Structure 1
Amino acid sequence: MSTTTELTETTLLRFATAGSVDDGKSTLVGRLLHDSKSVLVDQLEAVERASASRGQDAPDLALLTDGLRAEREQGITIDVAYRYFATPQRRFILADTPGHVQYTRNMVTGASTAELTVILVDARNGVVEQTRRHAAIAALLRVPHVVLAVNKMDLVEYKESVFAAIAEEFTAYALELGVPEITAIPISALAGDNVVEPSANMDWYGGPTFLEHLETVPVTHDLRHCHARLPVQYVIRPQTAEHPDYRGYAGQIAAGSFHVGEAVTVLPSGRASKISGIDLLGEPVDVAWTTQSVTLLLEDDIDISRGDLIVPSKDAPATTQDIEATVCHVADQALTVNHRVLLKHGTRTVKAIVKDIPSRLTLDDLSLHPHPGQLVANDIGRVKIRTAEPLPVDSYADSRRTGSFILIDPNDGTTLTAGMVGESFASPEPVKDESEDDGWDF
C-alpha cells in the first residue's frame, strides 16, 4: 500500500496569484477557467447577466472569482478566492489573492501553502513596490516556483522590448531575494494571449503558455527527507464496551510519515513510546504520511493533550523558549518591542513577549533598517521572541508547517504577525535588550 511513488508523487498543484491593484489577476483567473472549459454554464450565464447590468458588452471574467458584493461594487479583490479545477494533465487548487496593499495579509495566507506563485505585472507600469513586496513574501515563504506574468501586453502593442525589460528587472530582484526559479510569460488576460492558447500577436515568444507551464512545472513531494511531525489536535477516548481501553491521539500529519512499531517522542514533555497502531478513516493502516488526518495509538499510557507534538525519537527537534524569525506584520496595530502576545505554533498557543526587533526590510533596495522599534502593517522584519513555555520548533527551511507560527493579540484575538523560524535576510547584529521588567519576563 505504501510505496515510494505514492509518497513522493502527486497530480495536484497548489498555486496563488499576486500583484498590484488592476494588474488583472481576477481577469487572468477567469480567462484561465473559461478557456480551459472549467466554468459551468450557469456560472458563465450569471457572469454575463452581471456584466450586462453594468453596461459591458462582453462578459467580465473577473467576476468568476470576485464573489463578494463589496468586491463587485469596488472592482477590487478583497478576500482570497479559492478555485478548484482540473485538466487532463493535472488537478489545481488556485488562490486568487488581493492586490491592494491593505490586503497584503491575505496574500500571505494564500501563498503559505502554495507550490507556485504567479506575480502579475501591468506591462505599462512595470515592477512597482507591491511587486517587490509580493516577491519578498514568496521568497520568505519559500515558494519553489514563481511565474512572472507580464499582463496587458495588448496595451503596449505586444512589444518584445517592454516584456524583456520588465522580466530582466524582476528576475534580478527576485534572485537577490533567493527565489529559486522564475519563469516570465507575456500575456493579455483580457484578449486571451498566451493564457491557454499561444498568441499570434507575440510570435517572438517561444516559451510555454500560462496553462502549459502550470501543467508541466515539476511538483514533487519528496517525503523521504522530511522531519515527521504530528501536532496533536484531539485525544480520542470512546470508552465503549468494544474498545474499553482505547486512547488515540488524532491530528493531521504536518510532515513526513509514521509507521507502526516506530519509536516516538512526545514534546515538550520528552516522554518516549512506540506506535502500536494507526487508524485512518476508521481503518487500521501500517503507514501514514503528510496531510493525512490520522489517529496514533501508543504502547504506553502517556499524559498527552492538545498542543503536544509527536515526533520520531531519532529525529526530535530541540525545545526552546527563545525564537528568532522573519515575520510579515499583517495587522493595523503596530508590533513593538516588549509587546505581549500569544504565539500559536501548530496546535499549541502560549504566552510570549517580543524582546527585540533587530531590523526591518526596505523593499526598494533590500537594505535593512536596524532596530526600527516597531513593525506596521505589511512590514517585513526580524524579531526575537521569548515564550512562557518551551516549544519544539523546526527551522522554516526544514518544514513550512512546524517552522511557522502566528502572533495573536491576547486582548481581542486579532492575528498580528505571520512568522518563519530562522528565515533571515542578512540581519545586523542585535543589541542587548536592556528594557525594564514588565511582568511577562519568562
Structure 2
Amino acid sequence: MRFRKADFDPCVFIHKTGEVVIAIYVDDILIFYWSIERKNRVSLQLHAEFEMTETGTANWVLGIHLIHTKTGVILSQEAYLKRVLIKYGFDESRPVATPIDSNVHLQKGTEAEKIDDPTIYQSIIGSLMYAVIGTRPDLAYTVTMLSQFSSCATKAHLTAVHRVLRYLKGTLDWSVFYAKTPPTALIGFSDASYASDIDDRRSFTSHCFMLGEALISWCSYKQRSVATSTTEAEYMALSDTSRQLIWLRNAIHELERKPKLSFILRGDNNVSESTLINSSSRLEDFHESVISGAGNDENDSTDFPGPNTLPGRIIMLEKEHATRVIEVKNLRSTVEDGFRRVDKRFDELNTCIRWIVGFSVGTTGLGLGGMILKVFYYDSQARAEMLAAIDTAVDRAVGKAITRIESGDLKGVAAGKAAAGAAAQSAGKA
C-alpha cells in the first residue's frame, strides 16, 4: 500500500506521496488526507485487506468529542467528565474556582494515616489522568502532584482530589480549539517550580507548545534530581523542553514536506537561558538541531526574551550570524583574560589587543600603541588607562557589531574589521 512507518511515532503511517496519513490506536484508525482521490483509494485497499467499518467524518475518538465548525475543530471531553462526576458522586457538588488550594501543602502519609480503601483515590487519579492527556492541560500539574500519593493516600490527599472533581464541575465545557488558519510558528514555553515537593525538595517541570494559536502539547512532572537553585531547576526544565521541541519539529518536518514555520523556545530565567546557550557538551543536540536549524528550514529561530542581556539577543538573530554574535558575547572574557596575563608575557597581551581591535568593527587606534609601550615597562597607571580605553572600545565595538549583524550588513562588518586591522597595525608600529 506504499505506506511507511513514521520516525516520530510507530503508530503513524505516511503514504509515499505524503497525501495520506494513518494513525492507529489498537483497533481504531484515523485517516488524514490532502487528496480525496488518494484517500478513497486507500480506503478500498484497507477494506480489501481487513474486515472494518468506515464511519465517515470522525466525531468521537477514544472518548473525545470532535466538533467540526466553519473556523476549526473543537476537542471536548465534557461527556466523559460528566460520567466521572456521576461515578464518584460529585455531579451535584458545589464548584470551586481552582483545582488545588494554594494554602495546603501536602506531604507523604504514613501507614497509620492511610485511608481504608486507597483504590478509590487511585481510581479517581486514573480518571483525571485521561482528562489531562486528552483536553485538560489546566489539570496537568495538580493531577501529577496528587498521583505521587497513590500508594499511601490519606484523608488530606482524598480531600484534595475531591476538590479537583468540584473544580471539574464548574469547568465541564472547557475544551481545546484548533483553528483552520495556517500557523506561522511553533512556540514552546518552559517553567519550573523550585523545590516545590516538601518531602524530597525536588522541583517540578512544566512546559507547553503552541502551534499558532492552538495548544498541541503540554506536560508537568517532577524532576529526576534535586536542583540546588532556581537557576538549576529552570535549566533542567529548559533542557527537557528543548528535547520536546526537537521531537515536535521532526514530526512536523516528516508530516509536512516544506513547513514554513519558526521554532521558538521561551523561558523566564535569564541566567538559565545563558547557561543553556553556552553549554556545548550537555546540550549539543539542542545547538545543532534548534540553533543551527537541522533540516534546512530557513525560518527556524529560537527566542529567549532578555532585552538587557546579550545572550537574550543572540538567539533572535539569523542562524548564519549566530557564530559571530557568540564571539562578540565572549569578547569581555577575552579582554579580562588578557589582563590577567599582562605581567607574565607582553606578546600575549599584544596578541589579545590586536584580536580585540581587529574585531571591533570600525574602532580607531585609540592611542593604544603608546599605552602598550608603557604597559611593557609595567606602568600601573598606564595599565589602568589602557583598561579604561579598551573597556570603552569594547562597549562601542559590541554595539556596532550587534547592530550590523542584526541588520545583515555582512559587507559592513568585513569592511569594519579591515579598517580596524589597519588601525591595529599602526598602533603596533607605534
Pairwise TM-score range, normalised by the shorter structure: under 0.3
Write 1 or 2 for the structure with the bigger share of helix.
2
* Higher gyration radius (CA): 2
Give me the TM-score of the superposition, normalised by structure 1: 0.24
- Quick check: which one's strand share is greater? 1
> Normalized against structure 2, the TM-score is what?
0.24
